[in-house]
Amino acid sequence: MSYYCPVCNGLQNAAVRCPKCAGPAEDCGRFNDFLGPYAPYRAIDDMNLSNGFYDRANHVCVHVMHCLACEHQFQTFIHEWSQA
């Protein structure tokens, strides 16, 4: 069974609040895309094996978020949807 991120595919918005101040946070994209200059061009499953998270096993997509109120940056886990 394959899984996909609804946020990366434009099917839903990442409505996340900042853990520091509870202000609104904006999605800055997949965490894996920040790991190196060629990271956005590598296979997603390949990146999930070496990014330090259990995202592949737990079927989540790690996104970098930026708080608009306090400027705090943090990661959030978006649950992936299964493709039947």
Q: Which of 76, 61, 60 is nearest to 26 (CA)?
A: 76
Q: Which of 24, 68, 56, 9 is nearest to 77 (CA)?
A: 56
Entry pTM: 0.78
Confidence of residue 57 (pLDDT cuts 50, 70, 90): confident
Residue 38, pLDDT score:
73
Residue 28, pLDDT score:
95
**Domain map (residue ranges) of the chain:** 2-83
pLDDT tens digit sequence for 10-19? 999 999 999 9
Mean pLDDT of the chain: 86
Higher pLDDT, 45 or 7: 7
